[in-house]
Structure 1
């Protein structure tokens, strides 16, 4: 194939991957808002926040939960390990296995969403803790898949490193300001996602947790389908 065509194709894939990972960053905002506000102050995707809450909870501060954040941490690690295992021998780029792991994240979120609509999880109940753990497992799987795809500056689950890059490489800091658009978008989308998650909770009351997970799950499955349709491998 002509080198120019190869370059165009590679650029197309890179741009598509970026858009899809930014979409997942938005769904992460929804999931974390739903988890924090509806599942007793637990982050199921942002493990930095979750570990900090766990630390404060262990110190007995402000009646913060311990079991929920601890289970979310374990679930996230199990999900990330599963993702790493499945994708270890997968071809580079977006492969059939990548589609499978991203789809699994979406399907898990949809199933939990349906379950939470049928039986809204009450804080501290066994069902709420189960939802928390499985949702964190799904987000760990997503994080490992995004890491394997390696879209620069877009991990889909955290924006601290993205913000650091945005500021440290900015013109203000004497840098070239490269990648400012994708970094800004990643931060904006997780922020908007969190706002959407909070609004869904407010609008739907007891059903809010289920609705939020359902919306995030459907979007994640859509990302998996679009990525699969245009996969390279």
Structure 2
């Protein structure tokens, strides 16, 4: 019984890491949509939006200002609302996590439907869809932060890459290629690749894929929490 209990204790964090990797992939997918189809707006990577907004405010030619500005505000709002909802929760998965990520998945599906119906030609549509997607990503990032899975923010790559290079690679050399930090970086890159490829079919398809994955993570997380509860 002791061995079985130990296996279950190890299984839970390993499963949570896998779920956070899936959400990191989702970030790559929606960032590809934002940058390539919604006028160079990052919906998950807020560092990029800060830089684009600042350069646009300085008068740099051809850079959007409304999209990054609203995406920053929406991401912050999504993270704030999620933080308020989870402020008294523990770091364990709970029903609120399931509801938040599930609701985010539904919203991504709705946004995919909007893109399928009206396209991306109108600036108002691009700004609204990118802002709504950023709100979902802010929610996702806040859930991941509350779950506190080390190195799994689901949206930030720069600090993860720094930690991988300056700590993991120094200590483990070639074994660092299999570290969760490396996996997170690869996941967001593969997500962006998938998003860019799916855009060739239509802007709605990467959103539908992101929605499906978010819903799958919500369901899987709930099942794991019930099993280990």
Please give the TM-score of this superposition, normalised by the length of structure 2.
0.92
Note if contact 1:40-1:123 (Cα within 8 Å) is conserved in structure 2: no
How many Å apart are 1:5 and its aligned residue? 4.3
How many Å apart are 1:8 and its aligned residue? 2.4
Distance in 1 between residues matched to 2:117 and 2:102, nearest whole Å: 23
Note if contact 1:38-1:209 (Cα within 8 Å) is conserved in structure 2: yes
Note if contact 1:42-1:68 (Cα within 8 Å) is conserved in structure 2: yes
Note if contact 2:50-2:68 (Cα within 8 Å) is conserved in structure 1: yes
How many Å apart are 1:225 and its aligned residue? 0.5
Match of 1:212 in 2: 206
Note if contact 1:35-1:209 (Cα within 8 Å) is conserved in structure 2: no
| 1:120–1:224 distance in 2 versus 1, CA, 3 Å | same
Note if contact 2:91-2:148 (Cα within 8 Å) is conserved in structure 1: no
Match of 2:164 in 1: 166
Distance in 2 between residues matched to 1:75 and 1:98, nearest whole Å: 19
| Structure 2 residue matching 1:65: 3-state secondary structure | coil
Question: Cα deviations across residues 29-66 of structure 1 (Å, max 9, x unaligned)?
Answer: 01000000000000010001111111111111131000
Match of 1:222 in 2: 216
Q: Give aligned pairs, total.
A: 225
Question: Cα deviations across residues 119-141 of structure 1 (Å, max 9, x unaligned)?
Answer: 112252x2221111111101100
Match of 2:112 in 1: 113
Instruction: State the Cα RMSD in Å.
Output: 1.6
Q: How does 1:48-197 map to 2 (within 5 A)?
A: 48-124=47-123, 126-171=124-169, 173=170, 175-176=171-172, 181-197=179-195
> Which structure 1 segments of 5+ residues have no match?
none
Distance in 2 between residues matched to 1:86 and 1:10, nearest whole Å: 27
Distance in 2 between residues matched to 1:209 and 1:95, nearest whole Å: 33
Match of 2:10 in 1: 11
| Structure 2 residue matching 1:169: 3-state secondary structure | helix
Distance in 2 between residues matched to 1:86 and 1:220, nearest whole Å: 19
> Which structure 2 segments of 5+ residues have no match?
none
| Structure 1 residue matching 2:44: 3-state secondary structure | coil
Segments ≥4 residues shifted beyond 6 Å? none
Query: Which of 192, 198, 223 is matched with 1:200 structurally?
Result: 198
| 1:187–1:198 distance in 2 versus 1, CA, 3 Å | same
How many Å apart are 1:195 and its aligned residue? 0.8
| Structure 2 residue matching 1:230: 3-state secondary structure | helix
Please give the TM-score of this superposition, normalised by the length of structure 1.
0.91
